[in-house]
Amino acid sequence: MMLFQNKIAKVSGWCYLLTALTSVLLLVSCVPTTLNSTSLTPVQASDGYTEIKEIEEKLSITSEPVTAEMLIEKSRAFIKAHPKYRQVGEVYHILGTTLVQFDRTEEGIEILEELIRYYPLATSVEPSLLTLGLAYDKASMHDKADVIYEKLVNTPKYSSGESAKTARQLLQTDKSDRKGALEGLTDESGRTNFVGQAALDFQVTDLNGEPLSLEKFKGQVVLLDFWATWCGPCIAEMPNVKRTYQRYKNQKFQIIGISLDRGETPLKNYIEKEGIMWPNYYDSSRQVSNMYQVRSIPSTFLIDGNGIIRKTNLRGSALESAVAQLVQENMAR
């Protein structure tokens, strides 16, 4: 009888334990936990990353603020949800760059600083350092920008890259001229040597499908203008460029636009909206910009009627004055 009671007690104990375990499992299954969410992270993160890249591509084509806002929102949520995902550094870079480009500079600086602090080995750190330096310049924090540029120049793994080359140019530029955009830089390794030399010709097709080259405008004064619709200083200078074109277009003066846009759509839309009449070439492969060692925009080369580069990087009234002088010389020949 005692043995039978002991067996009953053991069975009851096991039943109680099983019931308790079942209750715990049910409770765990009903409450989201870090462990459960982590187990789903790879798939969720991959989908989220893909979506962010798609929005980034769309933004590069449209440059629409509403698309930028969507990209910012999605990127912030991704970083919060997936801090250990292998591509989180790239998402940081996308977010920081977008914030800076759309004039939310302080927020962009904060994001880029976080990336460099918490993910120092990420491949996106190198371009993010340059973006951060430019953001500091944009916010008139030039001393902080110098620290970043010097890091790019002096760190062995960065020193031979394009970001370091740009950083060297920025360090050689007067701080008062550094506005946070890659514009107006002087490339001491070769840029100033173009003045006085024969302009390099090219054979491309413009946006209207017509052949485009310097040879086509032989004997005319030509302004070779490297620009993009996303470049603030380029757009700010455009009224002056249009005014100069209107004044001298019937006096053997021509402009050739070389666009460094991220896609043809925003370029074509802007040209149509602004009524730009001179030929433009979308330099997607950087064929022409590499020929002229263009590292920043806006970048201009003023070529006389003999095909010689006479001036570079003209702005404002200086552009019109230089064009007027060369047009007068050319008409007198």
| pLDDT value at residue 125 | 95
Residues facing residue 299 across a β-bridge: 226
Do residues 153 and 205 both lie within one domain? no
62 pLDDT band, cuts 50/70/90, is: low
Within a domain: 26: no
Do residues 196 and 312 both lie within one domain? yes
**153/147 Cα distance (integer angstroms):** 10
Do residues 323 and 197 both lie within one domain? yes
Do residues 283 and 324 both lie within one domain? yes
Least confident of 6-10, 142-146, 226-230: 6-10
Within a domain: 16: no
Within a domain: 17: no
Do residues 65 and 148 both lie within one domain? yes
Within a domain: 107: yes
| Closest to 311 measured CA to CA, from 244, 215, 211 | 244
pTM score of the predicted model: 0.51
Enclosing domain of residue 312: 192-331
Do residues 118 and 207 both lie within one domain? no
Within a domain: 21: no
Do residues 224 and 137 both lie within one domain? no
Tens-digit pLDDT profile for residues 90-146: 999 999 999 998 889 999 999 999 999 999 999 999 999 999 999 999 999 999 999
Do residues 203 and 293 both lie within one domain? yes
CB-count exposure of residue 13 (10 Å: 0-12, 13-18, 19+): exposed
What is the identity of the amino acid at 251? Q
Within a domain: 297: yes
Please check whether residue 128 is in contact with residue 147, taking contact to mean a CB–CB distance below 8 angstroms. Answer: no
Go through 42-72 and write b for each residue having 16 or more CB atoms within 10 A of its CB, e for each that does not. eeebeebbeebeebbebbebbbeeebbebbb
Residue 164, H or E segment: helix 162-171
- Domain boundary (140, 173, 206) is at 173
The CATH number given to whatever domain includes residue 133 is: 1.25.40.10
Do residues 155 and 243 both lie within one domain? no
Within a domain: 153: yes
- Report in angstroms the alpha-carbon separations of 87 from 33, 92, 139: 23, 9, 28
Within a domain: 57: yes
Number of folded domains that form the chain: 2
Least confident of 71-85, 138-152, 222-236: 222-236
Do residues 229 and 320 both lie within one domain? yes
Go through 275-285 and write b for each residue having 16 or more CB atoms within 10 A of its CB, e for each that does not. ebebbbbbbee
